[in-house]
Amino acid sequence: MTGLHPRRASGTEGYSETADRLVEQYESRSFADVHRGLLPLFPAAPARALDIGAGTGRDAAGLAVLGHTVLAVEPTPEMRAHGQRLHSSPAIEWLDDSLPELARVRARNERFDLVMMTAVWMHLDEAERTRAMEYVAGLIVPGGLMTLSLRHGPVPAGRRMFDVSPAETRALAASHDLATVYERDRPSVFNADGVWWDVLAFRAPA
Ligand SMILES: C[S@@+](CC[C@H](N)C(=O)[O-])C[C@H]1O[C@@H](n2cnc3c(N)ncnc32)[C@H](O)[C@@H]1O
């Protein structure tokens, strides 16, 4: 904490102020729809999942319905509160933590069958992405899956966002022995003008 104001995690700029509006947007699409192409790669239930930048918990809830247990990491208190209110489940544990350090997650000495970072990676700068990939790679079980999506196009007012390429992300993952097993760009899931997404998945060595 600094003075009266707790320091915001890098990348969360703009989320507290808009959480009440974003909750409708994020919950308007189903987990199955957003992750359609990735679902065949997901581990069989019951698996242990880590959802980093979990937002309002749409994906944590979708994973719980599939029979998985989820550690939902979300540093923006307003988003976390929406998630806890909307998706209360004994299969979901919420945690206030953030990339790149993930200090609280790593202190648990746990490994995950599935790590999801949906629409969060492009909020980190290059140095943060480098550090985050090392830490996240260390949280995946042998043979486990990591998925992420990268937003491109206009940056919403107040957000901190970088144009991150799939090539850079693949190379960073490869430097930690994570093999690319899925790559696709898709039209915007939110119909925002000029916004598109890359979706990537990586497999840890068995
Ligand atoms: C575009 S939203 C996506 C939310 C959710 N994954 C989804 O797909 O609906 C990005 C989320 O990442 C969170 N976030 C931003 N910076 C972060 C960081 N450094 N570490 C973890 N989460 C972060 C924000 O608070 C926000 O909830």
* Model pLDDT for residues 141-185, shown as the tens digit of each residue: 999 999 999 999 999 999 999 999 999 999 999 999 999 999 997
The β-bridge partners of 180 are 202
**Nearest protein CA to atom 19 of ligand 1, as residue:** 99
Taking the centre of ligand 1 as the mean of its atom positions, its distance from the CA of residue 99, in whole angstroms, is 10
Task: Answer yes or no: is the C-beta of 52 below 6 A from any ligand 1 atom.
Answer: yes
Is the CB of 87 within 6 Å of ligand 1?
A: no
Burial class of residue 40, CB neighbours in 10 A (0-12, 13-18, 19+): exposed
Take atom 16 of ligand 1 and give the residue whose Cα is closest. Answer: 11
pLDDT given for residue 180 in this prediction: 98
pLDDT digits (tens, 9 = 90+) for 76-104: 999 999 999 999 999 999 999 999 999 99
Residue 4 lies in a domain: no
Q: Whole-prediction pTM value?
A: 0.95
Q: Which residues of 156-194 are buried (b: 16+ CB within 10 A; e: fewer)?
A: eeeebbbebebeebbebbeebebeeeeeeeeeebeeeee
pLDDT higher than 90, residue 4: no
**3 assigned to some structural domain:** no
pLDDT-derived band of residue 191, with 50, 70 and 90 as boundaries?
A: low
Residue 90 counted as domain residue: yes
Ligand 1 atom showing the smallest separation from residue 118 Cα: 6
11 lines ligand 1 (CB under 6 A): yes
* Joined tokens for residue 74: 């979300």
In a domain, 26, yes or no: yes
| Structural Rg of the chain based on CA atoms | 16
Half-sphere exposure of 131 (CA within 13 A, CB side): 11
Q: Is residue 9 part of a domain?
A: no
Examine residue 191 and state whether it is found in any structural domain, yes or no. yes
The CATH number covering residue 176 comes to 3.40.50.150
* pLDDT tens digit sequence for 111-144: 999 999 999 999 999 999 999 999 999 999 999 9
CA 11 / ligand 1 centre spacing (Å): 8
The tally of domains found in the chain comes to 1
Decide: 92 in ligand 1 pocket, CB within 6 A: no
Domain residue limits at 59 = 15-203
pLDDT tier, 2 (very low <50, low <70, confident <90, very high otherwise): very low
Q: Which atom of ligand 1 is nearest to the CA of 151?
A: 1
Name the residue of 31, 123, 189 whose CB sits within 8 Å of the most ligand 1 atoms, as the mutation to test its pocket: 123
Q: Are 146 and 178 in contact (CB under 8 A)?
A: yes
